[in-house]
Structure 1
Amino acid sequence: MKKYIIPIIACGLIITATSCKKFLDLKPLDSYSENTFYVDEKGLQGGLVSCYAALQTDSLYGNNLLTLGEIRGDNVADNDPGSGAGVRNSIEVFSETSANNIISGAWQGHYKAIYRSNLILDRAPAINMTDATKNQVIGQAKFIRALCYFNLTRLWGNVPLVLTVQTTGEARENSRATSAQVYQQIISDLTDAITKLPTTWADAQRGKATSYAASALLAKVYLYQKQYNLVVSTLQPLATAIYAGTVLAVVPQTTTFPSNLKTSRDIIFAVQYLNGGVGESVNQDNRYRNNNNTNSITLPQAIFEAGDNRRALLAPTGTGSRPGKFNSPVSNSTEVSGDFPVLRCADALLMYAEALNEVAYGNAEAFRALNAVRVNAGISPKTTADLTSQASFRTALYLERRLELALEADRWFDIVRTGQMATVFPGIPTFRAIYPVPQAEIDNINNKSGWQNTGY
């Protein structure tokens, strides 16, 4: 891989206004190196903030993942082959190449976050702090690393599995691990994170990964592997907590988006943004802003049932507008502070319903989970008289995921994992279910054999 594997880390990056207060007493960053910064708890906590900051960037949840996970699908279209040399449009129309800079940016962004997480995990054992604090730091780093590897293997299939801090020479000798090996590591990281993380944080620390977040992500990993019994057992305690409605709960999207996303009980984990000229906001154009009919919403309004309160939030927008789902206040004409939801209670309940149905049709808990999301959206619950078979429940569940999670970078991955690619995109070759490995990465590897995905 490239030299970004060992970057100079901007440890002063913040994810919330409260985070800033904790690090104001740091010396200038250029007076530190990796060997002098990660020597105490304060340095380790500062490095952990940089792990979260890596998720914010345009390479990941700030922009590129929205293109790779949503514009690639059938909810949003990019209709401008001339904009940015057509790199986004080529992803829309399945003509992208290994030189596409959105693809290469996402690859590099994920490995930057992984590098930072590895650095935390490498240094934490030797640093003097309480066991509880050390566990929380390790748990968060493992959650972020697992999230990045989950995205990487969904995007590219086999990818390098880097679990230590590498020199440039070592990175050039990397090979691609199989998806099975990557998933095994993700499961290991999340299983450990669940035991080390709290279920909640104090309000001043909202945004940090929790054990609930690690459980929800682990369940999604099992779902992608079709290990439905494990999905059920992993999500059962989380579903109980959601139904209780104290810490977590499904919340109508008319209040979740855009008004209260930062504090909503529906959010299990989100990448946070902040206005105020501190480099923590995101460009409004990166939230599906409709510019001259580019990045337009193509989600058919006809597929919404009457009374569905999600319809207005996902309606096609006029030139210069953003969909209601991400219509947060704009600062300096271009910047928004809207968080990006990665894991929500509604998603967890839909995963729970899907897995229960796959284990056995007719389970009352499957209908309960599905209907919790439907009633929350303002539409009537389904019964066995409506969904009379496992197949009909499955079809209804897939539609519910499309409507509930639209614009949240899940649609393309759902299309692929559920075997709908040939139906939704007839004629598109199956090799495009994953993306080409960036050629710039292959160029930096000593042994290039087997590095490019078939078809590219």
Structure 2
Amino acid sequence: MKHIYILFLGSLFLTLSCSTDLDESPPNIASSDSLTDFEGVLSAAYYYQLGAVTPMAVMGDFRADNALMLESPYTEFDTYGPGLTAMEDQYFGPFYTALYRSVLSANNVIENSTNTSQIGEAKFLRALSYFKLVQVFGDVTIILTSPDIGDIPTFDLTRQPAAEVYNNVIIPDLQDAISLLNITNTNGRASKLAAQSLLGKVYVHMGNFGSAQPHLADAVNGAAAGDVSLLENYADIFVTDLNSEIIFATQISSSLEDEYGFSDFWSWYLGNDTKSPRPLDASLITAFDASPGDLRRAVNIDEVNARSPKYPQVGGPDHDWIELRLADVILLYAETLNENGASPENVLDLLDPIRTRAGLAPLDHTVINTQALIRQAIYDERRLELAFEGQRWFDLVRTGTAEAEIGETINPNYYLFPIPISEILASDGVITQNPGY
């Protein structure tokens, strides 16, 4: 119980502005009862997302077949066994703590603010936090209030089924965010377009393509109204923060110290961390070999140094972490249409702008003409388009293709990651461990 108490206090006392540069620090907030403006608490909910960025990147790419760890015990990411618990302090603990701090800050805004935009943004951030938690851990504790200190010992910390987290928290929060927010974002804040995109993505991860389709359609068809469009040059997406392709990103600045005290996400991909100085997995090279002439190759992989140069260091390592961008949403929409029985033309036409930007010809509708062939084409496109964006492992798990793609028999227990042991101990065993760990 003490740990939850500390997290709650952190969500109240540490408040940082979420301007484009994330470099303002307004006064600390003493008590939610005395507040009339919850902008600082909302900014804290944004700020705490920073602590989840690098762990999500490592879990998404190093657990998958895009990147490799080279130093023990970090090689446990590639062995699909119980050894990941040895890395709680660097990955799973900070990830868990950061997202629950974001949740508690969002709860405070939702419960107490009278500003509908603030509430909409807070609901988006709470949904985003729980979506990440469910992807990584499966069943998780649900906390939807900002507790008074005296109430904390009575909190039910029991992990709730992932389906309930989706249906009772994530989906309703995103539905509310859609109704409360404007289509465009301001200074990178959450928007209606971001909520529509995330809700569609959530349904895809649940395997509910029927419910996903209208929300992804709204996002793709409404992107222009939200000032969102595909960039002409793929490489430019990762040079300029908050560019026109970005629907939502967690903003990062070297002038702002976040609570995650280890290597930044881009440094892992670049091979700057001693645990993996040559992180590029040969499997990704093979995938690009199967796509000759693909302009994304040079952006994503450096074969000579066995690393990814995707996030250039020109101007300093201030790269934002992209949570949602238009190409991702288009590919999810195409996948959804295919799973719902749309014609090959209607599905593959969506891929044309993405492939053309990559220097590739459109796929031949007369050859790629079955649901299975189209499905694989979309999976292949997602791998190349979204490499080193923290998505690969979670795509493999949701599509049931992890074993086939990685080439190993994987116990399903290890599709999830270990609950931090510190949380289990702090809850006196109320919070339980995932099977296999």
Residue of structure 2 equivalent to 1:56: 50
Shift of 1:355: 0.6
Say whether the 8 Å CA contact 1:256–1:266 is kept in structure 2. no
Q: Are 1:217 and 2:198 an aligned pair?
A: yes
Residue 233 of structure 2 is aligned to residue 248 of structure 1: no
Select which of 370, 377, 386 maps to 1:396: 377
Q: Which residue of 2 aligns with 1:94?
A: 80
Q: TM-score, normalised by structure 2?
A: 0.88
* Cα shift readout 1:409-445 (whole Å, capped 9, x = no counterpart): 1100000000012213412211101112222111122
The reply to whether residue 199 of structure 1 matches residue 199 of structure 2 is: no
Cα displacement (A) at 1:342: 0.7
Assess if the C-alpha contact under 8 Å between 1:161 and 1:176 holds in 2.
yes
Partner of 2:40: 46
Residue number among 276, 284, 287 corresponding to 1:303 in the alignment = 287
SS in 2 for 1:270: strand
Comparing 286-295 with 116-125, which one deviates more in the overlay?
286-295
Q: 2:313 aligns with which of 328, 334, 340?
A: 328
Alignment of 1:55-454 (within 5 A): 55-57=49-51, 60-61=52-53, 63-81=54-72, 86=73, 88-95=74-81, 96-101=83-88, 102-125=91-114, 134-166=115-147, 167=149, 169-170=152-153, 173-184=156-167, 185-201=169-185, 205-242=186-223, 244=224, 247-260=227-240, 262-275=241-254, 277-279=255-257, 283=264, 286-291=267-272, 294=277, 296-298=279-281, 299-304=283-288, 305-316=291-302, 323-329=308-314, 331=316, 336-425=317-406, 426-446=408-428, 448=430, 451-454=432-435
SS of structure 1 residue aligned to 2:9 = coil
Q: Deviations over 1:375-425 (max 9, x none)?
A: 222211113212121000001110111111111111000000000122134
1:283 offset after TM fit, Å? 3.8
CA offset digits 1:77-122 (Å, max 9, x no partner): 11111xxxx3x33223334344532112211121111111111112
Partner of 1:7: 9
Is the Cα–Cα contact under 8 Å of residues 68 and 279 in structure 2 kept in the other structure? yes
Shift of 1:249: 1.3
Q: CA deviation at 1:284?
A: 7.0
| Aligned partners of 2:338 and 2:344 also within 8 Å | yes
What amino acid sits opposite 1:14 in the alignment?
Answer: S
C-alpha spacing 1:264/1:386, structure 2 compared with 1 (3 Å): farther
Amino acid at match of 1:89: T
Distance in structure 2 (CA, Å) of the matches to 1:197 and 1:68 = 31
- Deviation, 1:324, is 2.9
**Whole-angstrom distance in 1 between the partners of 2:19 and 2:200:** 28
| Residues 308-354 of structure 1 deviation map (CA, whole Å, 9 limit, x = unaligned) | 111001113666x96332113354xxxx1011111010011000000
TM-score, normalisation: structure 1: 0.85
2:188–2:249: 8 Å Cα contact kept in structure 1? yes
The structural deviation recorded for 1:154 is: 1.0
Contact 2:250 2:321 in 1 (8 A): yes
CA contact (8 A) 2:295 2:358 kept: yes
Aligned to 1:131: none
User: Larger deviation: 367-376 or 388-397?
Assistant: 367-376
State the Cα distance separating 1:285 from its structure 2 match: 5.7
**What is the distance in 1 between the residues matched to 2:435 and 2:334?**
35
Secondary structure at the counterpart of residue 297 of structure 1 = coil
CA contact (8 A) 1:436 1:453 kept: yes
User: Residues 51 and 116 of structure 1 are in contact (CA less than 8 Å); yes or no, is this contact kept in structure 2?
Assistant: yes
C-alpha displacement of 1:237: 2.2
Instruction: Report the alpha carbon displacement of residue 301 of structure 1 after superposing the two structures with TM.
Output: 2.8
**Contact 2:196–2:215 (CA<8 Å) still a contact in 1?**
yes
- Residue 288 of structure 1: SS of its match in structure 2? helix
Q: Percent identity?
A: 27
Q: CA deviation at 1:263?
A: 3.6
1:34 deviation in Å?
2.5
The alpha-carbon deviation at position 55 of structure 1 amounts to 1.0
- CA shift, 1:206, in A, is 1.8
Task: Tell me if the contact between 1:152 and 1:159 (Cα under 8 Å) persists in the aligned partners.
Answer: yes
Aligned partner of 1:128 in structure 2 is none
5+ residue gaps in structure 2? none
Work out the CA distance in 2 between the residues paired with 1:120 and 1:48: 6
Segment drifting more, 213-222 vs 292-301: 292-301
How many residues are paired up? 419
Is residue 344–residue 368 contact of structure 2 (8 Å, CA) maintained in 1? no
* Rounded Cα–Cα distance in structure 1 between residues aligned with 2:159 and 2:233: 40
> Any conservation in 1 of the 2:280–2:307 contact (CA below 8 Å)?
no
Task: Tell me how far apart the structure 2 counterparts of residues 115 and 419 of structure 1 sit (CA, whole Å).
Answer: 33
Q: Is the 8 Å Cα contact of residues 11 and 49 (structure 1) preserved in structure 2?
A: no
Contact 2:57/2:265 (<8 A) preserved:
no
- For 2:155 and 2:78, locate their aligned partners in 1 and report how far apart those are by CA, in whole Å: 32
CA contact (8 A) 1:15 1:53 kept: yes
